[in-house]
Amino acid sequence: MSNDLATWLVANFTNAFEVIGVLAFALSGLIEAKRKGLDIVGVAMVAAVAAFGGGTLRDILLNRRPLFWVENDWWLWVIIGLTIAALLFLRSGDLAITERAMKWPDAIGLGVFAASGTQVALELQRSAIVAVIMGVLTSIIGGVLRDLFTNQIPRAFSDHEPYASVAFVGCWFVVLADALNMQPMWSVALGAAMIIVLRLLVMVFGWRVPSWRK
């Protein structure tokens, strides 16, 4: 395989992962907004902050310009389209929308954004710990903003389930894979898969993290 072809595959694989992450978090925002009974503007705003919040903070902290959704402004049309589709198809009585339903796409977004955010920082020659923190922030901020916009304490801080800690572990896997000179596309894919599987296990078995006594 030529170097040019390998570079093209890696670049497009990273873009594909970003697409998956944005769509997953946007869907979690749509579901939560629907559960709260928001109007079309509220649905669009919650979907947008869930989808773009983590990547925006990452780009600001890493001084990447333009922001990823500004450079690819078609993402804004995707959010508008998803909002309209949600209002048409997620009507009352059509689907039992529960808090648990929101957690499934959220788990996918968590894994994809954590791994890809770490890789972005590594490609900018940031240290391992900074890359991990960037990955964690990329993966949790969208969900935090989603919950704040729907008037609740962010679940990442209050539901006592491993969430940011799961992302933290997976981000270190991406750093280790990079140190071992693994192709970025594979380190991101495997890191994301590890985080998603761990998060789903948390949901299925109800694992908890220690918390302060009231």
Tell me, what's the pLDDT at 11?
58
Instruction: Name which residue leads in pLDDT, 201 or 206.
Output: 201
Per residue in 88-139, pLDDT (tens digit) is: 776 654 445 566 777 888 899 899 999 999 999 999 999 999 999 999 999 9
CA distance 49 to 26: 8
State the DSSP string of the chain: --HHHHHHHHHHHHHHHHHHHHHHHHHHHHHHHHHTT--HHHHHHHHHHHHHHHHHHHHHHTT-SS-HHHHTTHHHHHHHHHHHHHHHHS-TTTS---HHHHHHHHHHHHHHHHHHHHHHHHHTT--HHHHHHHHHHHHHHHHHHHHHHTTS--HHHHS-SSSHHHHHHHHHHHHHHHHTT--HHHHHHHHHHHHHHHHHHHHHHT--------
Residue 75 pLDDT: 84
Q: What is the pLDDT of residue 22?
A: 86
Distance CA 136, CA 140 (A): 6
- pLDDT per residue as tens digits for the range 148-188: 998 888 888 877 888 999 999 999 999 999 999 998 888 99
List C-alpha distances in Å: 168 to 117, 118, 135, 140, 194.
12, 10, 8, 11, 11
- CA dist 149 and 144 (Å) reads 9
pLDDT value at 3 more than 70 = no
| Cβ atoms of 105 and 200 closer than 8 Å | no
* Whole-number pLDDT of residue 184: 85
Mean pLDDT in the chain?
84
- What pLDDT shows up at residue 33? 84
Q: Give me the pLDDT at residue 152, please.
A: 87
As a whole number of angstroms, the distance between CA 135 and CA 111 comes to 9
Q: CA distances (Å), 79 to each of 22, 43, 44, 47, 102, in order?
A: 10, 10, 7, 7, 17
pTM: 0.84
pLDDT (0 to 100) of residue 97: 57
Q: Which two structure tokens, joined as six digits, stand for 72?
A: 């690819």
More confident residue, 212 or 171: 171
Q: What is the pLDDT of residues 4-60, one digit of tens each?
A: 555 555 556 666 777 888 888 888 888 888 888 888 888 889 999 999 999 999 999
Binning pLDDT at 50, 70 and 90, where does residue 198 land?
A: very high
